[in-house]
Amino acid sequence: KVCILRLGHRPERDHRVTTHVGLTARALGADGMYLVGEDPVIVGSIRDVVERWGGEFFIEDKVKWKQCIRQWKERGGIVAHLTMYGLEVGEVVAEMRERTEDLLIIVGAEKVPGDVYGMVDYNVSVTNQPHSEISSLAILLDRLFMGQEMDKKFEGAKIRVEPCEAGKRVIEL
């Protein structure tokens, strides 16, 4: 499994970005997201998307981050933290892919606790410039899955988009 651990979410400030971390993770092939902190609105909106657009993406809030990392490792998974200070994604992604299919990807909002850097298997950067958790996550997932996530089928969907040159075509299933 590939899951996201979202740290530092502040309900009053990060609502939109955290929602987009979840939507991006789901669209680009991840299996679920653990959210540190409580935000029933985000949990509801992601579950609503899964209900309508299919797939089995899960979201869980009120997660304790240290416990989440430890449990993930105890079960044999590896943990990567997205940070502009880490090793370049191109240098480490092949090794990550070969080690296991169980990857926990940590993304921050505000400053990430210093302990995180030492607890993880990889600190990974997507360029060494400051940008966003949404863009860095998207690029890591695309590199990890080597573009194959674009062909993912979302089972049990109630609606689906039929790509078209102009306009919008949505099919009710």
Token output for 9: 């979410």
**Closest CB to ligand SAM among residues 50, 82:** 82
Q: How far is the CB of 92 from ligand SAM (least distance, A)?
A: 12
Token output for 36: 């540190």
- 111 marked as binding residue: yes
Task: Please select the residue that binds ligand SAM; options are 87, 112, 119, 157, rule is CB under 6 A.
Answer: 112
Q: How far is the CB of 14 from ligand SAM (least distance, A)?
A: 9
Is residue 22 involved in binding ligand SAM (CB under 6 A)? no
Is residue 82 involved in binding ligand SAM (CB under 6 A)? yes
Is residue 114 involved in binding ligand SAM (CB under 6 A)? no
* Cα–Cα distance, 96 to 22 (Å, whole number): 22
Strand 159-161 and strand 170-172: pairing? antiparallel
Task: Please select the residue that binds ligand SAM; options are 68, 83, 93, 141, rule is CB under 6 A.
Answer: 83
How many residues of this chain interact with ligand SAM, rule: CB under 6 A? Answer: 17
How many C-beta neighbours within 10 Å does residue 7 have?
22
Is residue 84 involved in binding ligand SAM (CB under 6 A)? yes
List residues binding ligand SAM (CB under 6 A). Answer: 82-84, 107-109, 111-112, 125-127, 129-133, 136
Annotated binding-site positions for S-adenosyl-L-methionine = 82, 108-112
